Amino acid sequence: MATLATAEICDTNTTLVGSGGLRVLPPIFQVYGQSRAFSGPITTLKVFEDNVLVRQLLETKGEGRVLVIDGGGSMRCALVGGNLGQLAQNMGWAGIVVNGCIRDVDEINECDIGVRALASHPMKSNKKGVGEKHVPINIAGTLIREGEWLYADNDGVLISTSELSV
């Protein structure tokens, strides 16, 4: 799938931006992974300092989807590390967006996927299996629903109610 430039998407879809059908996430994310630009339908996950459900979802076939994790913005541990980055690549995920931290940055940067996260942190997360899959989430004031589309590149991250074309 050809990746669309987020600036061009914004320029050609001003009506969608105005109606809320296309939302721009605040510029709070760091860029990781080899895929600097990626897009795909969204799978949502809500967890807090616990990555058991992250692994469970990444063990399923990605089929070009993007896993968007609302980690509550926690800066106290990482929700994704090098092993999960490799798993996501192997299972066909297009990318991962984490409202929280990642670790093993050098390993994740070797993976052929796109990753966005608030920061890196060396501590691993808890392993209790607490969280919610496939639910609406809110990241930095932006509502994100399962099945919407995410577009990311070096300019930013967009959320669209439907797949876009130029």
Q: Domain segments of the chain: what residues?
A: 27-160
The pLDDT, as a whole number, for residue 3 is 72
- Mean pLDDT calculated for residue range 39-55: 98
The mean of the pLDDT values for the chain is 96
Give residue 93's Cα distance to chain centre: 10
81 is in an annotated binding site: yes
The reported pLDDT for the residue numbered 8 is: 95
Residue 83 annotated as lining a ligand binding site:
yes
What is the b/e burial string over 2-35, where b = at least 16 CB atoms within 10 angstroms of the residue's CB? ebbebeebbeebeebbeeeebbebeeebebbbeb
How distant, in Å, are the alpha carbons of 36, 105, 125, 135 from that of 144? Answer: 21, 26, 23, 9
Percentage of the chain modeled with pLDDT above 70: 98
Residue 49 clears pLDDT 50, i.e. is over it: yes
Percentage above 90 pLDDT, the chain? 96
**According to the model, what pLDDT value does residue 166 have?**
59
84 labelled ligand-binding: yes
**Res 4: pLDDT:** 83
Domain 27-160 adopts which CATH fold? Glucose Oxidase; domain 1 (3.50.30)
Q: What is the per-residue pLDDT for 116?
A: 98
Average pLDDT over residues 19-41: 97
Annotated binding-site residue? 67: no
Q: Roughly how many angstroms between the first and final C-alpha of the chain, as a whole number? A: 13
pLDDT of residue 42: 98
pLDDT (0 to 100) of residue 2: 55
- Full-model pTM: 0.96
Q: Indicate if the pLDDT at residue 136 is higher than 60.
A: yes
> Is residue 103 marked as binding?
yes
99 is in an annotated binding site: no
For the cut 50, the answer to whether the pLDDT of residue 1 exceeds it is no
Residue in 51, 49, 45 with CA at minimum distance from that of residue 66: 45
On the question of pLDDT at 165 being above 90, the answer is no
